[in-house]
Structure 1
Amino acid sequence: MKDTLKLYKEHDIMTEIKTMKHMVTDIPKDIGTIVSYVQNILLHQHWSKAYGLELSEERKKEPFLRSFEEKLIFLNELGFTHVSEHRTNENKMISICRDFSVAAAALCREAGVPARARCGFASYFEKDKYIDHWVLEYWNEEKKKWLMVDAQLDALQQKTLELPFDPLDVSENYFITAPKAWLWCREGIFNPDLFGIFKWWGYDYLRCNLILDANSLLKVPMQPWDWWEGYKSLPMEEWTERDYKVMDDLSMLAVNVDNNFEALYKYVQTNDKIKVPENFSEVTISHG
Protein backbone atom coordinates (compact mmCIF):
# COMPACT_ATOMS: atom_id res chain seq x y z
CA MET A 1 0.00 0.00 0.00
CA LYS A 2 2.87 2.33 0.80
CA ASP A 3 4.26 1.96 -2.74
CA THR A 4 0.77 2.55 -4.17
CA LEU A 5 0.42 5.80 -2.22
CA LYS A 6 3.83 6.93 -3.48
CA LEU A 7 2.69 6.18 -7.03
CA TYR A 8 -0.44 8.31 -6.69
CA LYS A 9 1.54 11.15 -5.18
CA GLU A 10 3.45 11.45 -8.46
CA HIS A 11 2.10 13.19 -11.55
CA ASP A 12 0.89 11.43 -14.67
CA ILE A 13 0.65 12.48 -18.30
CA MET A 14 -2.56 14.45 -17.62
CA THR A 15 -1.59 16.13 -14.33
CA GLU A 16 2.07 16.93 -14.99
CA ILE A 17 2.81 20.66 -14.95
CA LYS A 18 5.79 21.74 -17.05
CA THR A 19 5.77 25.38 -18.09
CA MET A 20 3.03 26.67 -15.78
CA LYS A 21 4.57 25.88 -12.38
CA HIS A 22 4.19 29.51 -11.33
CA MET A 23 0.40 29.06 -11.39
CA VAL A 24 0.44 26.27 -8.81
CA THR A 25 2.99 27.41 -6.22
CA ASP A 26 2.37 26.93 -2.49
CA ILE A 27 -0.64 24.61 -2.77
CA PRO A 28 -1.67 23.72 0.82
CA LYS A 29 -2.42 20.17 1.95
CA ASP A 30 -5.97 21.23 2.68
CA ILE A 31 -8.58 19.56 0.51
CA GLY A 32 -11.14 22.33 0.98
CA THR A 33 -8.68 24.93 -0.28
CA ILE A 34 -7.66 22.72 -3.21
CA VAL A 35 -11.32 22.30 -4.23
CA SER A 36 -11.86 26.06 -3.98
CA TYR A 37 -8.90 26.60 -6.31
CA VAL A 38 -10.39 24.20 -8.86
CA GLN A 39 -13.70 26.04 -8.68
CA ASN A 40 -11.83 29.34 -9.16
CA ILE A 41 -10.64 28.29 -12.60
CA LEU A 42 -13.27 25.89 -14.02
CA LEU A 43 -16.97 26.19 -14.83
CA HIS A 44 -19.05 23.16 -15.81
CA GLN A 45 -20.38 23.25 -19.36
CA HIS A 46 -23.79 21.77 -18.55
CA TRP A 47 -24.35 24.13 -15.62
CA SER A 48 -23.40 27.24 -17.57
CA LYS A 49 -26.97 28.60 -17.84
CA ALA A 50 -27.35 28.35 -14.07
CA TYR A 51 -24.46 30.82 -13.85
CA GLY A 52 -26.06 33.12 -16.41
CA LEU A 53 -23.83 32.14 -19.32
CA GLU A 54 -24.78 31.34 -22.89
CA LEU A 55 -21.89 29.45 -24.43
CA SER A 56 -20.77 30.01 -28.00
CA GLU A 57 -19.75 27.03 -30.11
CA GLU A 58 -16.15 28.14 -29.66
CA ARG A 59 -16.41 28.07 -25.88
CA LYS A 60 -17.91 24.57 -25.99
CA LYS A 61 -14.58 23.38 -27.42
CA GLU A 62 -12.65 24.32 -24.25
CA PRO A 63 -13.20 20.95 -22.49
CA PHE A 64 -11.42 19.19 -25.35
CA LEU A 65 -8.04 20.30 -23.97
CA ARG A 66 -7.06 17.09 -22.16
CA SER A 67 -4.13 17.82 -19.85
CA PHE A 68 -3.96 20.13 -16.85
CA GLU A 69 -0.91 21.77 -18.42
CA GLU A 70 -2.95 22.68 -21.52
CA LYS A 71 -5.70 24.05 -19.29
CA LEU A 72 -3.24 26.16 -17.30
CA ILE A 73 -1.82 27.61 -20.52
CA PHE A 74 -5.36 28.47 -21.64
CA LEU A 75 -6.15 30.02 -18.25
CA ASN A 76 -2.95 32.00 -18.31
CA GLU A 77 -4.01 33.45 -21.66
CA LEU A 78 -7.32 34.44 -20.00
CA GLY A 79 -5.32 36.43 -17.48
CA PHE A 80 -4.88 34.00 -14.58
CA THR A 81 -1.47 34.05 -12.91
CA HIS A 82 -2.33 31.61 -10.09
CA VAL A 83 -5.14 29.14 -9.36
CA SER A 84 -5.95 30.96 -6.11
CA GLU A 85 -7.24 34.01 -8.00
CA HIS A 86 -10.97 34.77 -8.06
CA ARG A 87 -12.46 35.66 -11.42
CA THR A 88 -15.98 36.18 -12.71
CA ASN A 89 -17.74 33.13 -14.14
CA GLU A 90 -17.32 34.23 -17.76
CA ASN A 91 -13.55 34.32 -17.21
CA LYS A 92 -13.33 30.71 -16.04
CA MET A 93 -12.53 27.80 -18.34
CA ILE A 94 -15.47 25.72 -19.58
CA SER A 95 -15.03 22.13 -18.43
CA ILE A 96 -16.72 18.85 -17.52
CA CYS A 97 -16.69 16.75 -14.34
CA ARG A 98 -13.62 14.83 -15.48
CA ASP A 99 -11.67 18.09 -15.67
CA PHE A 100 -12.58 19.10 -12.12
CA SER A 101 -11.35 15.72 -10.87
CA VAL A 102 -8.11 15.74 -12.88
CA ALA A 103 -7.36 19.34 -11.85
CA ALA A 104 -8.01 18.50 -8.20
CA ALA A 105 -5.75 15.43 -8.45
CA ALA A 106 -3.02 17.58 -10.01
CA LEU A 107 -3.19 20.14 -7.19
CA CYS A 108 -3.24 17.41 -4.54
CA ARG A 109 -0.10 15.91 -6.04
CA GLU A 110 1.52 19.35 -6.14
CA ALA A 111 0.84 19.51 -2.39
CA GLY A 112 2.28 16.02 -1.86
CA VAL A 113 -1.08 14.34 -1.30
CA PRO A 114 -1.76 10.98 -3.03
CA ALA A 115 -4.73 11.44 -5.36
CA ARG A 116 -6.46 10.05 -8.44
CA ALA A 117 -9.45 10.84 -10.63
CA ARG A 118 -12.25 8.27 -10.49
CA CYS A 119 -14.91 7.63 -13.10
CA GLY A 120 -18.28 6.20 -12.13
CA PHE A 121 -21.86 7.14 -11.40
CA ALA A 122 -23.52 9.61 -9.04
CA SER A 123 -26.99 9.24 -7.54
CA TYR A 124 -27.52 12.93 -6.73
CA PHE A 125 -28.21 14.44 -10.15
CA GLU A 126 -31.40 12.57 -11.07
CA LYS A 127 -33.75 10.75 -8.72
CA ASP A 128 -33.45 6.94 -8.86
CA LYS A 129 -30.74 7.09 -11.54
CA TYR A 130 -26.97 6.78 -11.53
CA ILE A 131 -25.53 9.47 -13.76
CA ASP A 132 -22.13 9.37 -15.45
CA HIS A 133 -19.71 11.40 -13.34
CA TRP A 134 -16.14 11.78 -12.08
CA VAL A 135 -14.85 12.55 -8.59
CA LEU A 136 -11.51 13.02 -6.89
CA GLU A 137 -10.19 10.32 -4.59
CA TYR A 138 -7.43 11.41 -2.20
CA TRP A 139 -5.60 9.70 0.63
CA ASN A 140 -6.64 11.08 4.00
CA GLU A 141 -3.60 10.50 6.19
CA GLU A 142 -5.48 11.16 9.40
CA LYS A 143 -8.17 8.56 8.66
CA LYS A 144 -5.75 6.28 6.80
CA LYS A 145 -8.13 5.75 3.91
CA TRP A 146 -9.18 7.06 0.52
CA LEU A 147 -11.93 9.68 0.57
CA MET A 148 -14.01 10.71 -2.41
CA VAL A 149 -14.55 14.40 -3.13
CA ASP A 150 -16.80 16.05 -5.71
CA ALA A 151 -14.72 19.08 -6.69
CA GLN A 152 -17.43 20.28 -9.10
CA LEU A 153 -20.10 20.93 -6.46
CA ASP A 154 -19.81 24.60 -5.52
CA ALA A 155 -22.33 26.50 -3.38
CA LEU A 156 -24.76 27.06 -6.27
CA GLN A 157 -24.83 23.39 -7.24
CA GLN A 158 -25.07 22.21 -3.64
CA LYS A 159 -28.09 24.44 -3.07
CA THR A 160 -29.76 23.46 -6.37
CA LEU A 161 -29.28 19.74 -5.75
CA GLU A 162 -30.17 19.97 -2.04
CA LEU A 163 -27.33 17.62 -1.20
CA PRO A 164 -27.67 15.48 1.93
CA PHE A 165 -23.88 15.03 2.24
CA ASP A 166 -20.60 16.91 2.39
CA PRO A 167 -19.00 17.10 -1.11
CA LEU A 168 -15.59 16.79 0.60
CA ASP A 169 -16.54 13.29 1.81
CA VAL A 170 -18.79 11.48 -0.66
CA SER A 171 -19.78 8.00 0.45
CA GLU A 172 -20.50 4.99 -1.74
CA ASN A 173 -24.18 5.65 -1.09
CA TYR A 174 -23.92 8.59 -3.47
CA PHE A 175 -21.10 7.73 -5.86
CA ILE A 176 -20.30 4.27 -7.21
CA THR A 177 -17.01 3.78 -9.03
CA ALA A 178 -17.38 2.19 -12.46
CA PRO A 179 -15.75 -1.17 -11.53
CA LYS A 180 -18.13 -1.68 -8.60
CA ALA A 181 -21.10 -0.53 -10.68
CA TRP A 182 -20.24 -3.10 -13.37
CA LEU A 183 -19.83 -5.94 -10.85
CA TRP A 184 -22.99 -5.08 -8.91
CA CYS A 185 -25.00 -4.98 -12.13
CA ARG A 186 -23.56 -8.30 -13.23
CA GLU A 187 -24.45 -9.77 -9.84
CA GLY A 188 -28.02 -8.53 -10.15
CA ILE A 189 -27.74 -6.07 -7.25
CA PHE A 190 -28.47 -3.09 -9.54
CA ASN A 191 -30.37 -2.64 -12.78
CA PRO A 192 -27.83 -1.66 -15.49
CA ASP A 193 -30.47 0.38 -17.31
CA LEU A 194 -30.34 2.94 -14.48
CA PHE A 195 -26.70 3.77 -15.26
CA GLY A 196 -25.74 6.28 -17.95
CA ILE A 197 -26.45 9.81 -19.15
CA PHE A 198 -28.58 11.59 -21.77
CA LYS A 199 -29.56 8.93 -24.34
CA TRP A 200 -26.89 6.35 -23.38
CA TRP A 201 -27.71 3.76 -20.70
CA GLY A 202 -27.01 0.22 -19.56
CA TYR A 203 -24.00 -2.00 -20.07
CA ASP A 204 -23.09 0.02 -23.15
CA TYR A 205 -22.28 2.96 -20.88
CA LEU A 206 -21.07 0.90 -17.93
CA ARG A 207 -18.29 -0.60 -20.05
CA CYS A 208 -17.14 2.84 -21.23
CA ASN A 209 -16.79 4.16 -17.69
CA LEU A 210 -15.17 0.93 -16.52
CA ILE A 211 -12.47 1.27 -19.18
CA LEU A 212 -12.01 4.96 -18.37
CA ASP A 213 -11.70 4.28 -14.64
CA ALA A 214 -9.28 1.38 -15.06
CA ASN A 215 -7.01 3.54 -17.22
CA SER A 216 -7.37 6.44 -14.79
CA LEU A 217 -6.23 4.14 -11.97
CA LEU A 218 -3.22 3.44 -14.18
CA LYS A 219 -2.70 7.20 -14.38
CA VAL A 220 -4.11 7.87 -17.84
CA PRO A 221 -7.42 9.67 -17.14
CA MET A 222 -8.97 10.12 -20.58
CA GLN A 223 -12.11 12.01 -21.54
CA PRO A 224 -15.55 10.40 -21.96
CA TRP A 225 -15.66 11.08 -25.71
CA ASP A 226 -12.20 9.58 -26.32
CA TRP A 227 -12.45 6.40 -28.39
CA TRP A 228 -9.86 3.88 -29.52
CA GLU A 229 -9.93 0.45 -31.11
CA GLY A 230 -11.17 -2.18 -28.67
CA TYR A 231 -13.84 -2.61 -26.05
CA LYS A 232 -14.70 1.06 -25.78
CA SER A 233 -15.76 1.20 -29.42
CA LEU A 234 -16.76 -2.42 -30.18
CA PRO A 235 -20.58 -2.64 -30.45
CA MET A 236 -21.86 -4.73 -27.56
CA GLU A 237 -24.18 -6.73 -29.80
CA GLU A 238 -20.96 -8.26 -31.15
CA TRP A 239 -19.72 -9.23 -27.68
CA THR A 240 -19.48 -12.86 -26.58
CA GLU A 241 -19.71 -14.10 -23.00
CA ARG A 242 -15.92 -14.18 -23.04
CA ASP A 243 -15.86 -10.43 -23.64
CA TYR A 244 -18.10 -9.88 -20.63
CA LYS A 245 -15.73 -12.08 -18.61
CA VAL A 246 -12.82 -9.82 -19.62
CA MET A 247 -14.75 -6.86 -18.19
CA ASP A 248 -15.62 -8.85 -15.05
CA ASP A 249 -11.95 -9.61 -14.49
CA LEU A 250 -10.97 -5.99 -15.20
CA SER A 251 -13.53 -4.80 -12.64
CA MET A 252 -12.25 -7.12 -9.93
CA LEU A 253 -8.65 -6.08 -10.54
CA ALA A 254 -9.62 -2.39 -10.46
CA VAL A 255 -11.52 -2.82 -7.20
CA ASN A 256 -8.42 -4.47 -5.73
CA VAL A 257 -5.92 -1.96 -7.15
CA ASP A 258 -4.58 -0.80 -3.79
CA ASN A 259 -3.61 -4.34 -2.84
CA ASN A 260 -2.21 -5.30 -6.23
CA PHE A 261 -1.57 -2.42 -8.60
CA GLU A 262 0.78 -4.57 -10.66
CA ALA A 263 -1.95 -7.10 -11.47
CA LEU A 264 -4.22 -4.40 -12.94
CA TYR A 265 -1.30 -2.85 -14.79
CA LYS A 266 -0.25 -6.15 -16.40
CA TYR A 267 -3.83 -7.07 -17.31
CA VAL A 268 -4.42 -3.79 -19.12
CA GLN A 269 -0.96 -3.57 -20.70
CA THR A 270 -1.39 -6.99 -22.29
CA ASN A 271 -4.85 -6.18 -23.66
CA ASP A 272 -4.82 -3.68 -26.52
CA LYS A 273 -8.62 -3.65 -26.46
CA ILE A 274 -8.54 -1.95 -23.05
CA LYS A 275 -5.41 0.17 -22.75
CA VAL A 276 -5.14 3.69 -24.12
CA PRO A 277 -2.90 3.84 -27.20
CA GLU A 278 0.52 5.26 -26.40
CA ASN A 279 0.15 7.47 -29.46
CA PHE A 280 -2.79 9.77 -28.77
CA SER A 281 -3.21 10.37 -32.50
CA GLU A 282 -4.89 6.92 -32.50
CA VAL A 283 -7.55 8.27 -30.13
CA THR A 284 -10.61 9.68 -31.89
CA ILE A 285 -13.44 11.81 -30.56
CA SER A 286 -16.93 10.34 -30.55
CA HIS A 287 -19.78 12.75 -31.17
CA GLY A 288 -22.45 10.28 -30.10
Structure 2
Amino acid sequence: MTTLAPTGTIDYATHTPYSDPGRFAGRLEAVPTDFDRLCAVVRNVIEHYRASEYELPADTIGDIHARWIDRTLRSDDDRHGTDLAAPREPRSRVQGCCRDHTLLSIAILRQHGIPARSRIGFADYFVDGWHHDHVVPEVWLSGRWVRFDPELAAPTPLLPDPRDIPAGNGFHTAAEVWRAHRAGTIDVETYGVDPSIPVARGAWFVRNYVVLEVAHRFGDELLLWDNWGTMAGPGSDGQDADLVDDVAALLVAADTGDRGAERRLLEWYRADDRLHPGDHVLRVSLPGEDVVLDSLR
Protein backbone atom coordinates (compact mmCIF):
# COMPACT_ATOMS: atom_id res chain seq x y z
CA MET A 1 0.00 0.00 0.00
CA THR A 2 1.54 3.30 -1.09
CA THR A 3 0.09 6.77 -1.10
CA LEU A 4 0.84 10.46 -1.42
CA ALA A 5 0.08 12.59 1.62
CA PRO A 6 -3.12 14.65 1.57
CA THR A 7 -3.07 18.40 1.88
CA GLY A 8 -4.53 19.27 5.26
CA THR A 9 -4.15 20.95 8.60
CA ILE A 10 -2.15 18.20 10.32
CA ASP A 11 0.14 15.41 9.19
CA TYR A 12 -1.81 12.17 9.44
CA ALA A 13 1.24 10.10 8.47
CA THR A 14 2.97 11.09 11.74
CA HIS A 15 2.23 9.39 15.04
CA THR A 16 0.26 11.12 17.74
CA PRO A 17 1.06 10.40 21.40
CA TYR A 18 -1.80 7.87 21.28
CA SER A 19 -0.61 5.95 18.20
CA ASP A 20 3.13 6.08 18.94
CA PRO A 21 4.28 2.47 19.54
CA GLY A 22 7.46 3.46 21.37
CA ARG A 23 9.78 0.47 21.77
CA PHE A 24 7.33 -1.73 19.82
CA ALA A 25 7.83 0.15 16.54
CA GLY A 26 9.50 -2.89 15.00
CA ARG A 27 6.43 -5.00 15.68
CA LEU A 28 4.31 -2.56 13.65
CA GLU A 29 6.86 -2.32 10.85
CA ALA A 30 6.60 -6.10 10.42
CA VAL A 31 2.85 -5.94 9.71
CA PRO A 32 1.92 -5.78 6.01
CA THR A 33 -0.26 -2.82 5.04
CA ASP A 34 -2.61 -4.54 2.62
CA PHE A 35 -6.10 -4.48 4.11
CA ASP A 36 -6.67 -8.19 4.59
CA ARG A 37 -3.42 -8.96 6.41
CA LEU A 38 -3.43 -5.73 8.42
CA CYS A 39 -6.99 -6.31 9.61
CA ALA A 40 -6.24 -9.95 10.44
CA VAL A 41 -3.37 -8.85 12.68
CA VAL A 42 -5.55 -6.26 14.41
CA ARG A 43 -8.22 -8.88 15.17
CA ASN A 44 -5.51 -11.29 16.33
CA VAL A 45 -4.17 -8.82 18.91
CA ILE A 46 -7.41 -7.26 20.21
CA GLU A 47 -10.61 -9.03 21.29
CA HIS A 48 -13.76 -6.96 21.65
CA TYR A 49 -14.66 -6.96 25.33
CA ARG A 50 -18.43 -6.87 24.72
CA ALA A 51 -18.82 -8.54 21.31
CA SER A 52 -16.57 -11.56 21.78
CA GLU A 53 -18.07 -15.03 21.43
CA TYR A 54 -15.80 -16.11 24.29
CA GLU A 55 -16.03 -15.45 28.00
CA LEU A 56 -13.04 -13.20 28.57
CA PRO A 57 -11.07 -13.22 31.82
CA ALA A 58 -12.10 -10.70 34.45
CA ASP A 59 -8.51 -10.03 35.44
CA THR A 60 -7.69 -8.42 32.08
CA ILE A 61 -10.78 -6.21 31.69
CA GLY A 62 -8.62 -3.22 32.64
CA ASP A 63 -7.06 -3.52 29.16
CA ILE A 64 -9.93 -1.44 27.83
CA HIS A 65 -8.65 1.69 29.59
CA ALA A 66 -5.28 1.67 27.77
CA ARG A 67 -5.60 4.86 25.78
CA TRP A 68 -2.04 4.73 24.36
CA ILE A 69 -1.16 2.05 21.82
CA ASP A 70 2.24 1.39 23.39
CA ARG A 71 0.43 0.19 26.53
CA THR A 72 -1.78 -2.11 24.46
CA LEU A 73 1.33 -3.50 22.76
CA ARG A 74 3.06 -3.88 26.13
CA SER A 75 0.14 -5.98 27.42
CA ASP A 76 0.28 -8.11 24.30
CA ASP A 77 4.05 -8.51 24.63
CA ASP A 78 3.77 -9.52 28.30
CA ARG A 79 1.34 -12.30 27.36
CA HIS A 80 2.88 -13.48 24.10
CA GLY A 81 6.23 -11.91 23.30
CA THR A 82 5.87 -12.87 19.64
CA ASP A 83 5.28 -11.26 16.28
CA LEU A 84 1.81 -9.71 16.12
CA ALA A 85 0.76 -12.11 13.37
CA ALA A 86 1.52 -15.20 15.47
CA PRO A 87 -1.85 -16.70 16.49
CA ARG A 88 -3.19 -15.73 19.91
CA GLU A 89 -5.83 -17.68 21.81
CA PRO A 90 -8.83 -15.32 21.95
CA ARG A 91 -9.04 -15.27 25.76
CA SER A 92 -5.42 -14.17 25.98
CA ARG A 93 -5.79 -11.26 23.58
CA VAL A 94 -5.84 -7.67 24.74
CA GLN A 95 -9.41 -6.66 25.55
CA GLY A 96 -10.64 -3.58 23.70
CA CYS A 97 -13.32 -2.21 21.41
CA CYS A 98 -13.70 -0.56 18.02
CA ARG A 99 -11.62 2.40 19.16
CA ASP A 100 -8.70 0.06 19.92
CA HIS A 101 -9.03 -1.88 16.66
CA THR A 102 -8.95 1.48 14.89
CA LEU A 103 -6.03 2.89 16.87
CA LEU A 104 -3.90 -0.19 16.18
CA SER A 105 -4.82 0.02 12.48
CA ILE A 106 -3.79 3.64 12.13
CA ALA A 107 -0.67 3.08 14.23
CA ILE A 108 0.45 0.38 11.79
CA LEU A 109 -0.27 2.57 8.78
CA ARG A 110 1.47 5.62 10.26
CA GLN A 111 4.48 3.49 11.16
CA HIS A 112 4.78 2.82 7.43
CA GLY A 113 4.42 6.53 6.65
CA ILE A 114 0.85 6.18 5.34
CA PRO A 115 -1.66 8.89 6.34
CA ALA A 116 -4.44 7.45 8.49
CA ARG A 117 -6.95 8.76 11.03
CA SER A 118 -9.85 7.59 13.16
CA ARG A 119 -13.50 8.55 12.65
CA ILE A 120 -16.19 8.63 15.32
CA GLY A 121 -19.77 7.89 14.40
CA PHE A 122 -22.47 5.26 14.08
CA ALA A 123 -22.69 2.06 12.03
CA ASP A 124 -25.87 0.73 10.41
CA TYR A 125 -24.45 -2.67 9.48
CA PHE A 126 -24.42 -4.69 12.72
CA VAL A 127 -28.13 -4.79 13.55
CA ASP A 128 -30.82 -3.84 11.04
CA GLY A 129 -32.65 -0.76 12.30
CA TRP A 130 -30.09 0.16 14.96
CA HIS A 131 -27.09 2.48 14.70
CA HIS A 132 -24.24 1.31 16.94
CA ASP A 133 -21.69 3.81 18.16
CA HIS A 134 -18.54 2.92 16.28
CA VAL A 135 -15.02 3.98 15.35
CA VAL A 136 -13.43 3.15 12.02
CA PRO A 137 -10.09 4.01 10.41
CA GLU A 138 -9.61 6.06 7.27
CA VAL A 139 -6.51 5.77 5.08
CA TRP A 140 -5.51 8.17 2.32
CA LEU A 141 -5.40 6.20 -0.95
CA SER A 142 -5.43 7.38 -4.55
CA GLY A 143 -6.37 10.91 -3.61
CA ARG A 144 -9.23 10.15 -1.22
CA TRP A 145 -9.97 8.98 2.31
CA VAL A 146 -10.99 5.31 2.33
CA ARG A 147 -12.93 4.04 5.35
CA PHE A 148 -12.62 0.42 6.38
CA ASP A 149 -13.66 -1.77 9.27
CA PRO A 150 -10.87 -3.98 10.64
CA GLU A 151 -13.29 -5.87 12.91
CA LEU A 152 -14.99 -7.54 9.94
CA ALA A 153 -13.18 -10.40 8.24
CA ALA A 154 -15.62 -10.63 5.35
CA PRO A 155 -18.58 -8.83 3.75
CA THR A 156 -21.95 -9.01 5.49
CA PRO A 157 -25.46 -8.64 4.11
CA LEU A 158 -25.57 -5.06 5.43
CA LEU A 159 -21.99 -4.14 4.42
CA PRO A 160 -20.94 -5.53 1.03
CA ASP A 161 -17.37 -4.17 1.21
CA PRO A 162 -15.87 -3.60 4.69
CA ARG A 163 -12.61 -2.48 3.04
CA ASP A 164 -14.18 0.56 1.35
CA ILE A 165 -17.20 1.96 3.17
CA PRO A 166 -18.77 4.75 1.10
CA ALA A 167 -19.32 8.03 2.93
CA GLY A 168 -22.86 8.20 4.28
CA ASN A 169 -23.59 4.55 3.46
CA GLY A 170 -23.25 2.20 6.40
CA PHE A 171 -21.26 4.55 8.60
CA HIS A 172 -22.30 8.08 9.54
CA THR A 173 -20.06 10.48 11.41
CA ALA A 174 -21.29 11.90 14.72
CA ALA A 175 -21.49 15.33 13.09
CA GLU A 176 -23.73 14.01 10.33
CA VAL A 177 -26.00 12.29 12.82
CA TRP A 178 -26.24 15.38 15.05
CA ARG A 179 -27.20 17.58 12.08
CA ALA A 180 -29.80 15.07 10.93
CA HIS A 181 -31.23 14.99 14.46
CA ARG A 182 -31.41 18.78 14.61
CA ALA A 183 -33.14 18.79 11.22
CA GLY A 184 -35.69 16.25 12.48
CA THR A 185 -34.92 13.69 9.77
CA ILE A 186 -33.89 10.74 12.00
CA ASP A 187 -35.03 8.99 15.15
CA VAL A 188 -32.04 9.79 17.35
CA GLU A 189 -33.19 7.22 19.93
CA THR A 190 -31.95 4.49 17.56
CA TYR A 191 -28.36 5.78 17.87
CA GLY A 192 -26.30 4.52 20.79
CA VAL A 193 -24.26 1.72 22.30
CA ASP A 194 -26.77 -1.11 21.99
CA PRO A 195 -30.56 -1.58 21.93
CA SER A 196 -30.27 -3.34 25.30
CA ILE A 197 -28.73 -0.26 27.00
CA PRO A 198 -31.43 2.41 27.13
CA VAL A 199 -29.37 5.03 28.94
CA ALA A 200 -26.53 5.15 26.40
CA ARG A 201 -28.39 6.47 23.39
CA GLY A 202 -30.12 9.49 21.98
CA ALA A 203 -29.38 13.17 21.53
CA TRP A 204 -27.10 13.68 24.54
CA PHE A 205 -25.01 10.70 23.48
CA VAL A 206 -24.63 11.90 19.87
CA ARG A 207 -23.85 15.39 21.14
CA ASN A 208 -20.90 14.10 23.18
CA TYR A 209 -19.67 12.10 20.22
CA VAL A 210 -19.45 15.25 18.08
CA VAL A 211 -16.91 16.59 20.59
CA LEU A 212 -15.13 13.24 20.57
CA GLU A 213 -15.07 13.33 16.77
CA VAL A 214 -13.25 16.67 16.79
CA ALA A 215 -10.67 15.34 19.25
CA HIS A 216 -9.94 12.27 17.14
CA ARG A 217 -9.72 14.31 13.96
CA PHE A 218 -6.96 16.43 15.44
CA GLY A 219 -4.90 13.68 17.02
CA ASP A 220 -6.40 13.23 20.49
CA GLU A 221 -7.64 9.67 19.98
CA LEU A 222 -9.28 9.37 23.38
CA LEU A 223 -11.36 6.57 24.89
CA LEU A 224 -15.05 6.46 24.10
CA TRP A 225 -15.81 6.86 27.82
CA ASP A 226 -13.55 9.86 28.41
CA ASN A 227 -15.43 13.06 29.27
CA TRP A 228 -14.25 16.67 29.33
CA GLY A 229 -15.35 20.24 28.62
CA THR A 230 -18.93 20.54 27.44
CA MET A 231 -19.52 16.78 27.47
CA ALA A 232 -22.17 15.67 29.98
CA GLY A 233 -24.65 12.90 30.75
CA PRO A 234 -28.28 12.07 29.86
CA GLY A 235 -30.52 15.09 29.39
CA SER A 236 -27.63 17.38 28.40
CA ASP A 237 -28.40 17.53 24.69
CA GLY A 238 -29.50 21.16 24.98
CA GLN A 239 -26.26 22.22 26.71
CA ASP A 240 -24.11 24.34 24.36
CA ALA A 241 -26.32 23.16 21.50
CA ASP A 242 -25.37 26.13 19.32
CA LEU A 243 -21.70 25.33 19.83
CA VAL A 244 -22.25 21.71 18.82
CA ASP A 245 -24.27 22.87 15.79
CA ASP A 246 -21.38 25.04 14.62
CA VAL A 247 -18.76 22.37 15.29
CA ALA A 248 -20.79 19.75 13.42
CA ALA A 249 -21.21 22.11 10.45
CA LEU A 250 -17.45 22.67 10.27
CA LEU A 251 -16.74 18.93 10.51
CA VAL A 252 -19.11 18.17 7.65
CA ALA A 253 -17.66 21.01 5.57
CA ALA A 254 -14.12 19.80 6.24
CA ASP A 255 -15.10 16.35 4.98
CA THR A 256 -16.02 17.91 1.64
CA GLY A 257 -12.48 19.27 1.30
CA ASP A 258 -13.11 22.75 2.70
CA ARG A 259 -9.63 23.51 4.09
CA GLY A 260 -10.75 26.84 5.51
CA ALA A 261 -13.40 25.11 7.59
CA GLU A 262 -10.87 22.58 8.82
CA ARG A 263 -8.36 25.29 9.79
CA ARG A 264 -11.03 27.26 11.67
CA LEU A 265 -12.11 24.12 13.48
CA LEU A 266 -8.54 23.23 14.46
CA GLU A 267 -7.91 26.73 15.83
CA TRP A 268 -11.18 26.60 17.74
CA TYR A 269 -10.48 23.15 19.11
CA ARG A 270 -7.07 24.15 20.43
CA ALA A 271 -8.34 27.35 22.04
CA ASP A 272 -11.67 26.35 23.59
CA ASP A 273 -11.70 24.29 26.81
CA ARG A 274 -15.25 23.20 26.02
CA LEU A 275 -13.81 21.21 23.11
CA HIS A 276 -10.21 20.46 24.05
CA PRO A 277 -9.52 17.99 26.88
CA GLY A 278 -6.50 19.74 28.35
CA ASP A 279 -4.42 17.72 30.83
CA HIS A 280 -7.16 15.60 32.43
CA VAL A 281 -10.38 13.77 31.55
CA LEU A 282 -13.10 12.04 33.55
CA ARG A 283 -13.18 8.34 32.72
CA VAL A 284 -16.10 6.02 33.33
CA SER A 285 -17.26 2.95 31.46
CA LEU A 286 -18.09 -0.27 33.25
CA PRO A 287 -21.19 -0.61 35.45
CA GLY A 288 -20.26 -0.05 39.06
CA GLU A 289 -16.99 1.69 38.25
CA ASP A 290 -16.17 4.97 39.94
CA VAL A 291 -15.58 8.02 37.78
CA VAL A 292 -11.79 8.49 37.59
CA LEU A 293 -9.86 11.69 36.95
CA ASP A 294 -7.18 10.55 34.50
CA SER A 295 -4.09 12.44 33.46
CA LEU A 296 -3.31 12.68 29.74
CA ARG A 297 0.33 13.55 30.33
Same fold (TM over 0.5): yes
Q: Cα 1:184–1:82, aligned 2, differ >3 Å: closer, same or farther?
A: same
Contact preservation (8 Å) 1:117, 1:216: yes
Residue deviations 1:66-125 (CA, integer Å, cap 9, x gap)? 111110111100113322222221221111111001111111111221111111001122
1:7 to 8, 11, 30: 11
- Pairs aligned (count): 274
| Residue 224 of structure 2: aligned partner | 224
Which sections of structure 2, spanning at least 5 residues, go unmatched?
A: 288-297
1:43 to 34, 44, 47: 47
Separation in 2, partners of 1:254, 1:152: 25
SS in 2 for 1:224: coil
Which sections of structure 1, spanning at least 5 residues, go unmatched?
A: none
- 1:22 deviation in Å? 2.4
| Residue 284 of structure 2: aligned partner | 285
Looking at secondary structure, tell me which structure has more helix per residue: 1
| Residue 171 of structure 2: aligned partner | 175
Separation in 1, partners of 2:90, 2:237: 45
| Residue 210 of structure 1: aligned partner | 210
Q: Cα 1:154–1:80, aligned 2, differ >3 Å: closer, same or farther?
A: farther
- 1:287 deviation in Å? 4.6
Separation in 1, partners of 2:16, 2:267: 18
Separation in 2, partners of 1:33, 1:103: 13
Aligned positions of 1:111-190 closer than 5 A:
111-141=112-142, 144-154=143-153, 162-171=157-166, 172-190=168-186
| Residue 91 of structure 1: aligned partner | 92
- 1:196 deviation in Å? 1.0
SS in 1 for 2:22: coil
| Residue 33 of structure 1: aligned partner | 37
- 1:237 deviation in Å? 4.6
- 1:140 deviation in Å? 1.4
The residue type paired with residue 165 of structure 2 is V
- 1:248 deviation in Å? 0.9
SS in 1 for 2:47: strand
The residue type paired with residue 215 of structure 2 is N
SS in 2 for 1:99: helix
Contact preservation (8 Å) 1:22, 1:81: no
Separation in 1, partners of 2:10, 2:247: 23
The residue type paired with residue 180 of structure 1 is E
2:25 to 21, 27, 37: 21
Separation in 1, partners of 2:225, 2:7: 32
Contact preservation (8 Å) 1:117, 1:135: yes
Separation in 1, partners of 2:118, 2:219: 9
Contact preservation (8 Å) 1:136, 1:148: yes
TM-score by length of 2: 0.85
Separation in 1, partners of 2:63, 2:285: 16
| Residue 71 of structure 2: aligned partner | 70
The residue type paired with residue 214 of structure 1 is V
TM-score by length of 1: 0.87
Percent of aligned pairs with the same amino acid:
24
Separation in 2, partners of 1:188, 1:34: 39
